[in-house]
Structure 1
Amino acid sequence: MTTSTTPQLDLSKFPRRALLEGPTPIQHLPRLSAHLGGANVFVKRDDLNGLGGGGNKLRKLEFLIGEALASGADTIITVGARQSNHARLTAAAAARVGLECELVLTRAVPRDDPDYVDNGNILLDALFDAHVHDLPGSANALQFAEDRASELRAQGRRVYVCPLGGSSPVGCLGYADCAAEIVGQAKVDGISFDRIVVPNGSGGMHAGLVAGLVAMGRDPSLVSAFTVYGKAEQARSTTLDKANQTAQLINATLRVDSSAISIDEAQLGAGYGIPTDGMRAAVRLMASTEGLLLDPVYGGKAFAGLVENATAGHYRAGQNILFVMTGGLPGLFAYRSEF
């Protein structure tokens, strides 16, 4: 399908550093759709970005790196779990623009196998020359990052601290822009999406899409998410707050109603980063029918939710369902033993 121009959503007042090669394509998955026997399933290929192995976090980082450079920063620090996709792409983006990068990574997932500890994203962090702080799962990573930033500032460094998942209101602008991109592509291709399905971790992608749709006068309840990080109630509260902050950055008069935030916790399983049978089956299904690869932490669980909804008849025959593929391919190698 085509990659259209973006409809009007003026984000030009915000500093931005281009990290993408252009709009990511929307593709129909005919074999998968036939297998599921009802709705037409499409994917938004946000995994198809060249920098750092690709992935959805680059959209947020365009605005976060833009803000960091505009502030005169020479160093960026961010936080995440040991296999964080956001941390890996922050390190890659920092290498691209010439910033020093420090990653504060916690052992938040109870795994100590060599693949998880030393392969996947953590291998790439080292290749991008990021300095990794390895903390226990109980540590307050953001407080550590702020304390480290204070140390570096005392040495004369100019430090920009980026939150979990890059999901500050500024970072969420990347997905407000993506909402405009999707609307533009749908218009050019003459298609209407009945549902946009995403994983919800730190909430930034979901919040940004909702804020972007609100800013364009579109229905934000088109977006539905499967939480992969925490319980639905907390995820809903966090996402609503971020969606409102992001919408008000775009236009101070905008508000997002709580009814716009739809989050399902059915695929969470035992918790963040802990595999489920549904995730394993969904990753295998996508790979075996369409040759596409989902990550085991975010996309795999969210796509398991889409498959479950489709097979249960929650999507009607002929409906068009768009799944946002977020990338995270290196995570598959960290979870090798699960497959």
Structure 2
Amino acid sequence: MTKFKQKLPILSPLFIALVVLHSLFVDYTVQFPDFVTNENSESSIETMKPQVITENGVIGRISYLESFLVELESKELPIDTEMEETKDSVKRVLIGQKLLLGLLIFYLFLTFSTAVTYSLRAWFHKSMAHVLYPVSLIVLLPKIFFQLNLMVQKDTLSYFYFVFLVLTYITMIISYRTIIKDKEPFEGFQSLQFSSSLEEEGRSPSNTKTGTYLAPVFHILVIILIGILIGNLVYIPLFLLQKHYVSEFSYFIFFLIGLLSVFYIFNYKKVGGESKNANWQNLAVSFAYLQYRFLRNGFLSIFSTILIILFVTFLFSLLLFNIDVIQNNLGLFGKTTEF
């Protein structure tokens, strides 16, 4: 039984991944009645109940919105038709759905990374688990209630999916408790903690001795020249590209991010790969570590932003309080002064 519980943290992310894959193609929503009636008959009461309906997932919605947008921009429509507001609204919804698709794909990769880091005992596994399992416990709960409502509506497939979701939920709870209570140290791939060090990347520290006084001036001139070249040859063309070719520029940016991610994955493999593991295992952990860095930097950015907002709000409130005290007690600003 103990060995089986130790295998659950590898299996439960796979179950979560199946739920995420299902969400890409199938989604559920609550449909409320279009009208309210005063009749007390059984049929009218039944029609007044909210119904859970099955609809296309995020991929289907994106496909539908894109085809709908193409129809709106078609030349077959009347020239005098006012469609700009509708187009803008559809584009905003489409952007939101694409962002949701990106989050779901990232979530899907997170399940893979959590399973891999646990099986290979990577040192950052618990950090990944502390993100995956609490989020999954929250995400799966509404899905279970949707299936309960579909079971009441006599949907046959909902019985099977409900059992699968409940088993996944129980498996997640047991897996998370197993990970938390596991006192054995996760010491695999320790060298990845020093991946930003020059020594770990095989480079020796540069000589820090100062030269002549002309060297800093020369460096500043070189930096200015490089900045001018980058601004004229890179930034301005990119600005014009994203202004006139929004979709193409978005694909180009994602391609560059993917290319940079591949570079980091192979760099992490070179720095932190262990000889006792197979090549694909080192690559998998390197990919998981890249996702760990994304999560860590993302949380730090959000936390820093919240702190800055709170600090600025506190300073502004303190300023208003001081002005109010001075105005009421000392009268320096006069009675008619308002801030």
TM normalised by structure 2 equals: 0.26
When you count strand as a share of all residues, which structure comes out higher?
A: 1
TM normalised by structure 1 equals: 0.26
Work out which structure has the larger RCO, using CA pairs closer than 8 Å and 6 or more positions apart in sequence: 1
When you count helix as a share of all residues, which structure comes out higher?
A: 2
Say which one has the larger Rg. 2
